[in-house]
Structure 1
């Protein structure tokens, strides 16, 4: 199979590319990126012969030409490009994966379901850590129950560099956009940074403080898990990062309303996104990323709860990547392999919980030393 890692020399794309380059099921790997020099330097680090291509994803014809002989396109670009890449994959006759669309873009992507189904193609919407592994783990929990009532998703971390662990724009969106929860069968919009809660994550992460955040799981799980009436998601960022978000919000610096300054017209948010994008990426350091999924319902007529947890650490010695990249990029590589091998459960543009057998996916992760642990809570 041939896989194109789009944005493959970015932080998350590097983990996907490393895994694919080490995978004997992948015959050809292409690193496609706007920064061809970085792509070529990175490709030289990978095992085997890895091709590179410069690509402008805003140019539809250019993008189609780059990916047209690919079986699978693993899209590690910022989420606002997701629908552009999906349209190119339809024209190039290639299966597709991405790292999520922060709810609203995911909703737009679901509109392509019929197009991908008619083309006998698969588009996996959100196949990183969260969304991605979280969806697969939740699906495994739902399998254990006769009826599912609630799904609660919690994420947390320990260690890592100060500042933005990945795309500053995406993190600021997670901090400042109004989160969505599904309560008692109804979608509800909440204020940014609301629902603060302290919760315990597996060692060595321990206790963290999280809050509701906009996330793609809420765009699909209320519809894909029959009978569920509550789904929520909380993320725990470093306190210093949350403080940055609070200051920006309180000072109006995340506003999309345009202002004029020094002869230019722009919004405060546009400037903030531009400024943080100019800052150097933090070094890869030791960290641990974790999630906890609680799936509640009934089994044999009795209340039942299953918990799924994972802890992923940095891979500094071999890949030179922090845990944030590893736990996001590796699941997308697993998904790309399964798509290329024809293991998707159906066609169309859908979430991971509909497209992959959760047991098979969890086994593939375990082969890569990412272990999702299961526990029945009594």
Structure 2
């Protein structure tokens, strides 16, 4: 289905959010964005001005309350980038509208419970010749591509173990809501579990590079444990994460447990809004401590033998998420993805992704790659050498 004659190259939903703003700035670094339309429910004046200064047109729309207007809007674009969470509310709504209008789709969906419902749209997307790339942020997103690169190199892997941390100063209201949602573990078959008690949390200790250092992380719901075994020769995938410092994790867990959607109550929405207010107040009034930054570690292995990616840096979460999304848009516009259907970043050619990432990135990042032997980190490997040996066509 040809969409080359449509008004807009890219329509960005939720364009006023912090991660979307980072994506827009990255996209403007990488090329012409004059045929981009930035959409938000309620623009802040300064954000609207910043977006228009990049050369984009802005408009206002609430995608959850205006379904017909959403479809009319998407019908005027080649690609819609949905950066409006939470995705358990917006994901299938915008994806369905994209499929109906024959518009390619991208999001940064990090809510595990909506991943399987989105994959259920695969046949409809294929019939409509729509390419839908979901979870194209940092984690999920870059993590998935790194797993693909490692598996291409190794041939297969029994286990993938993902660990990450986020600095409390990066926890916007939207990020806090998502983090709380992650306490509801989602099984591969879609079963959703209640938030565990503090004693029931599965914990482990991970040492990240740089300023992040050694941190305790807990098992959380995320898309990668569902998508990695779906698209790659991987048997199991786990996800552990945390907010640093540890006191912030305790505060976040206690509020998440108190407003767990799996223990419904009539006033849940109102109580959750109040809990967000409490967390925001905590974040803004807590005693100042040195910024820790964000950390990531991915072990791809069989019986402890394989590869380990690791990073630890002062990169803000919005930048870490927005820039890979901009790279994903480059790949979709250039046709460097599977032809049609709903797919996650494991299907991208790693070398193509990192080429696109260089077009939109400020540079840096501090990603390291080491060989893993009997569970221990050993010799360092150049990432360019790994990428040179990965597959040359999409999975």
Give me the TM-score of the superposition, normalised by structure 1.
0.82
Contact 1:292 1:308 in 2 (8 A): yes
Q: Are 2:142 and 1:122 equivalent residues in the alignment?
A: no
Q: Is the 8 A contact 1:256 1:270 kept in 2?
A: no
Count of residue correspondences? 349
Match of 2:267 in 1: 266
Contact 1:68/1:93 (8 A) holds in 2: yes
Closer/same/farther in 2, CA of residues 88 and 201 from structure 1, 3 Å limit? same
Distance 1:343 1:235 in 2: 31
Q: Deviations over 1:12-52 (max 9, x none)?
A: 111111112222154522110011354523324x43x2100
Note if 1:289 corresponds to 2:294: yes
Whether 1:195 aligns to 2:202 is: yes
Deviation at 1:102, TM superposition (A): 1.8
Give 1:139 shift. 0.5
- Say if 2:168 and 2:248, in contact at 8 Å, map to a contact too: no
Offset, 1:249: 5.6
Equivalent residues of 2:16, 2:48 under 8 A apart: no
The partner residue of 2:108 within 83, 99, 105 is 99
Distance 1:17 1:143 in 2: 31
1:55 aligns with 61
User: Which runs of structure 2 are paired with 1:343-358 in the superposition (5 Å)?
Assistant: 343-354=336-347, 356-358=348-350
The CA deviation string for residues 130-159 of structure 1, in whole angstroms up to 9 with x for no partner, is 1111101101110111232111111124x5
RMSD of the alignment, in Å? 3.1
Asked if the contact 1:34/1:55 (under 8 Å) is kept, the reply is: yes
Is 2:309 aligned against 1:308?
yes
Tell me the residue number matched to 1:205: 212
Asked if the contact 2:194–2:262 (Cα under 8 Å) also holds between the matched residues in 1, the reply is: no
- CA–CA distance in structure 2, aligned partners of residues 258 and 230 of structure 1: 31
Secondary structure in structure 2 of the residue aligned to 1:198: strand
Partner of 1:161 in structure 2? Answer: 169
Would the aligned equivalents of 1:82 and 1:101 in 2 still touch at CA under 8 Å? no
Q: 8 Å contact 2:145–2:346 — kept in the other structure?
A: yes
- Looking at structure 2, the residues matched to 164 and 349 of structure 1 have their Cα atoms a distance apart, in angstroms, of 29
- Give the counterpart of 2:141 among 132, 137, 160: 132
Unaligned stretches of 5+ residues in structure 1: 260-264, 315-322
Look up the SS of the partner of 1:106 in the other structure.
Answer: helix
Indicate if the aligned counterparts of 1:180 and 1:190 stay in contact, CA closer than 8 A.
no
User: In the TM superposition, what whole-angstrom CA distance separates every residue of 1:35-89 from its partner, at most 9, and x where no partner exists?
Assistant: 1354523324x43x21001112022211122232222211111112010000111
Which residue of the other structure, out of 329, 350, 374, is the alignment partner of 2:322? Answer: 329
Structure 1 position 116, deviation (Å): 1.2
Match of 1:320 in 2: none
* Alignment match, 1:2: 9
The structure where helix makes up a greater share of residues is 2
Contact 1:345 1:357 in 2 (8 A): no
Q: What displacement does 1:103 show?
A: 1.5
Question: Unmatched 5+ residue regions in structure 2?
Answer: 1-7, 285-289, 374-395
- Residues 112 and 248 of structure 1: CA distance in aligned 2, closer, same or farther (over 3 Å): same
Where do residues 247-258 of structure 1 align in structure 2 (5 Å cutoff)? 247-248=254-255, 252-254=258-260
Q: 1:167 to 1:277 in 2, by over 3 A?
A: farther
Counterparts of 1:67 and 1:370, CA distance in 2 = 35
